[in-house]
């Protein structure tokens, strides 16, 4: 089972970065070429049925997976970054997370109305960040779906996306599901 193979290589750090949070560290997976390749291949297979031409990757661990998937699937890549990280004219979406307020930016002109975008990040937790990324893309292009390596089911990020977006359950794809 995909979940079990990959779960073994996800380290867990309780109470990081703050008390009560259990950080899922993908470093052991990235350090294992066989399983990293396996994860990328499985992520590509998982979205093969979605119609998209651009991938929007969320800073910073989303860059790792999204860039390789964009290369492998021959799709355009757009970086979605926090304030102060991108030059030029920007499109910005502010949001409030469970920890603080922040914003996401993309460079203006990177998306066109006919683009179909797949949003990629490493972890779907509470859904605040990916919900903001969706809101950033929505006025510019169509969001075709979201792809994650890990989903922390107990934090109900999927439910947030289902409530706040046009996406259906089949458009939100995660390889690994963590109950706790």
pTM of the shown model: 0.96
Element (H, E) at 119: strand 116-124
> Do 107 and 88 touch, CB atoms closer than 8 A?
yes
> Six-digit token pair at 35?
């399983």
> In this structure, which topology does domain 50-175 adopt according to CATH?
Rossmann fold (3.40.50)
Give residue 148's pLDDT: 98
Domain ranges (residues) in the chain: 50-175
Query: Beta strand pairing status for 116-124 and 142-152?
Result: parallel
Q: Which residues are catalytic?
A: 61, 98
Question: Token pair of 10, please?
Answer: 């996800």
How far apart (Å, rounded) are the C-alpha atoms in residues 59 and 167? 22
Assign 45 to helix, strand or coil.
Answer: helix
Q: Residues 82, 108: contact at Cβ < 8 Å?
A: no
C-beta of residue 148 within 8 angstroms of C-beta of residue 124:
yes
Whole-number Å distance between alpha carbons of 178 and 125: 10
pLDDT digit string, tens, across residues 78-132: 999 999 999 999 999 999 987 789 999 999 999 999 999 999 999 999 999 999 9
Structure tokens at 178: 């963590």
d(CA 125, CA 145): 16
Closest CA to 78 of 144, 26, 137, 148: 137
pLDDT grade, residue 20 (50/70/90)?
Answer: confident
* pLDDT tens, residue by residue, 129-138: 999 999 999 9
Q: What pLDDT, on a 0 to 100 scale, did the predictor assign at position 133? A: 98
Beta bridge partners of 55: 77, 118
pLDDT above 80 for 74? yes
Question: Residue 5 — very low, low, confident or very high, per pLDDT cuts 50/70/90?
Answer: confident
């Amino acid at each position: 089972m995909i979940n079990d193979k990959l779960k073994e290589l996800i380290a867990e750090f309780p109470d990081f970065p703050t008390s009560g949070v259990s950080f899922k560290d993908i470093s052991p997976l990235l350090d294992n070429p066989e399983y990293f390749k396996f994860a990328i291949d499985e992520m590509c297979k998982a979205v093969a049925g979605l119609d998209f031409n651009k991938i929007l990757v969320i800073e910073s661990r989303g860059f790792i997976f999204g860039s390789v998937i964009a290369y492998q699937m021959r799709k355009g890549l757009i970086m979605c970054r926090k304030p102060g990280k991108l030059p030029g004219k920007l499109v910005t979406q502010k949001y409030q997370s469970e920890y603080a307020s922040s914003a996401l930016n993309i460079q203006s002109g990177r998306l066109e109305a006919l683009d179909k975008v797949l949003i990629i990040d490493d972890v779907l937790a509470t859904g605040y960040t990916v919900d903001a990324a969706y809101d950033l893309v929505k006025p510019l292009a169509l969001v075709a779906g979201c792809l994650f390596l890990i989903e922390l089911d107990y934090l109900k990020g999927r439910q947030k996306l289902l409530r706040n977006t046009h996406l259906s359950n089949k458009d939100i794809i995660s390889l690994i599901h963590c109950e706790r």
